[in-house]
Amino acid sequence: MTISNDTAGPGCSPAPNPLPVDAARALIRRAIVPVATVERVALRAALERVLAEDIVSPIDVPAHDNAAMDGYAFDGTALSAAAATGTGTAQLTLAVAGEARAGHPFARACGAGECVRIMTGAPMPADCDTVVPQEFVVRSGSNVTFEPLRIERGANCRRAGEDLARGQAALVAGRILGPADLGLLASLGVAEVAVRRRVRVAFFSTGDELRSVGEPLAAGCVYDSNRYTLYAMLTRMNVEVLDLGVVRDEPDAIEAALRTAAASADVVLTSGGVSVGDADFTARMTATFGDVEFWQLAMRPGRPLAFGRLWPAGRGVGCESALFFGLPGNPVAVMVSFYQFVREALVAISGAIAPTPLQFAAASRVPIKKRPGRTEFLRAVAMRDTAGQWSVTPTRSQSSGVLSSMSEANCLIALAHDQGDVAAGALVDILPFEGLA
């Protein structure tokens, strides 16, 4: 099977100078203004939020030296003294002076020839730096005996501040807070953190043929699926979403929806109506209150894209405005354009330090036809064989209207702008869906 990603239909002839994907990304990056408002939230509400302050550890974590195992704590200098006596098989015997449990320290220092029965997490008694695990010792009465060569000085002792030292930077501003970060903040005793306010995104679909779920499907109509994929992708990014529904292909309705969206959100997303036949129509709507360009991208799927800024109440510094992405209408093109452009923009607007996108190489199981001069994304299924090698097969349909192929796929194959045909077995870059927020 040779997969061709060329699904151009009538009216889809390439524009004379389509914009390369990297150039579009650079133009989008230049237009980003991160949200500035900061709010304080309780720790649990901070999950997936963008940290707005550096967190410096106010304490040592752990706060005290403590045992990493159940056993007996003692002064490790006893080990070298025992080794100096010689044979290597000599036994070391210590008297058990008492007990330390987590939350219940041993009250006094531990003297020469003594040890303290200690449980994991218990503070190390003064003058002790080593824990011999209980499996290594023979206990008889109030003495323990073990081979000193089986243990090194300092073993099984977790040092105060070894996780985080007081005054050390624990987390930096811009971090998207994950489960480990919430735990880390709790370990510092931090109950509230400053985070950036969430990015607000308003979106709507355009098209006279669209019907919403729950409505009867009249002849020639299709259900609006883009609002659901957009809702889902946005919700996973933890942005605030405002769904403005379906807007008919009528200039006034589209203008009103765009103005409402721009006045209430940081980012406006639309789908449909930006292909060649409709572009002028949408352009007219944004011309009076937006700086919007209509791009033909050197990309498949997702060739048409409108991008710019909308000024619903007039242009100028201090005036409210919203970034605008006019996504294509085809359901797969919507998702691919979102993942390639909108996602990165939303991360940047949120004020986050962008996480490195997941990407790795896999061997294509089939030859792929690819014309240099545009970036192509193929829906594909990647799998790992029993030897641990990754290979990838494009889904049978690469039409940008076939959403089921997106459901079937678990990754996109990304074929770079200058790349040509791919031979079977050659390595290609894949962008896994798993792990993509």
Return the structure tokens found at 131: 């824990």
Of the candidate residues 15, 33, 172, 222, the single one contacting ligand AMP (CB under 6 A): 222
326 binds Mg ion (CB under 5 A): no
Residues 397-426 that bind ligand AMP (CB under 6 A): 401
CB 295 within 8 Å of CB 17: no
Which residue, 230 or 352, is less far from Mg ion as judged by CB? 230
Which residue, 108 or 284, is less far from Mg ion as judged by CB? 284
Return the structure tokens found at 189: 């005793």
209 binds ligand AMP (CB under 6 A): yes
For strands 92-100 and 143-146, give the pairing. antiparallel
The amino acid at 378: L
Of the candidate residues 76, 161, 207, 326, the single one contacting ligand AMP (CB under 6 A): 207
Quick one: DSSP state of residue 424? T
Smallest separation (angstroms) from ligand AMP to the CB of 274: 6
Residues in contact with Mg ion, counted by CB under 5 A, come to a total of 4
Q: Residue 301: is the preceding peptide bond cis (ω within 30°)? A: yes
Given Mg ion, ligand AMP, none, residue 75, with its beta carbon under 5 to 8 Å by kind, binds none
The amino acid at 355: P
Of the candidate residues 123, 148, 161, 207, the single one contacting Mg ion (CB under 5 A): 207
Which residue, 163 or 249, is less far from ligand AMP as judged by CB? 249
The C-alpha atoms of residue 165 and residue 169 are separated, in whole angstroms, by 9
Stretch that binds Mg ion, among 154-162, 272-280, 300-308, 342-350 (CB under 5 A): 272-280
For strands 360-364 and 3-4, give the pairing. unpaired
Smallest separation (angstroms) from ligand AMP to the CB of 262: 20
CB 422 within 8 Å of CB 367: yes
226 binds ligand AMP (CB under 6 A): yes
Q: How far is CA 212 from the centre of its chain?
A: 31
Smallest separation (angstroms) from ligand AMP to the CB of 224: 4
Of the candidate residues 161, 308, 328, 351, the single one contacting ligand AMP (CB under 6 A): 328
For 180-191, give one letter per residue: b (16+ CB within 10 A) or e. Answer: ebbebbebbebe
Given Mg ion, ligand AMP, none, residue 226, with its beta carbon under 5 to 8 Å by kind, binds ligand AMP
Binding mask 157-176 toward ligand AMP (x if CB under 6 A, else -) reads --------------------
Of the candidate residues 302, 312, 326, 331, the single one contacting ligand AMP (CB under 6 A): 331
Q: Is 106 exposed, middle or buried (0-12, 13-18, 19+ CB in 10 A)?
A: buried
Q: Residue 394: is the preceding peptide bond cis (ω within 30°)? A: no
The CA-to-CA distance between both ends of the chain, in Å, stands at 32
Which residue, 330 or 337, is less far from ligand AMP as judged by CB? 330
The C-alpha atoms of residue 5 and residue 370 are separated, in whole angstroms, by 7
306 binds ligand AMP (CB under 6 A): no
Stretch that binds Mg ion, among 18-26, 110-118, 199-207, 299-307 (CB under 5 A): 199-207
Q: Which of 19, 32, 18, 23 is nearest to 344 (CA)?
A: 32
Smallest separation (angstroms) from ligand AMP to the CB of 396: 20
Which residue, 130 or 330, is less far from ligand AMP as judged by CB? 330
One-letter-per-residue 3-state SS of 329-353 = CCHHHHHHHHHHHHHHHHHHHCCCC
Smallest separation (angstroms) from Mg ion to the CB of 210: 8
Residues 107-136 that bind Mg ion (CB under 5 A): none
The amino acid at 41: V
Interface with ligand AMP by CB under 6 A: which residues?
205, 207, 209-210, 222, 224-226, 271-273, 275, 278, 328-331, 401
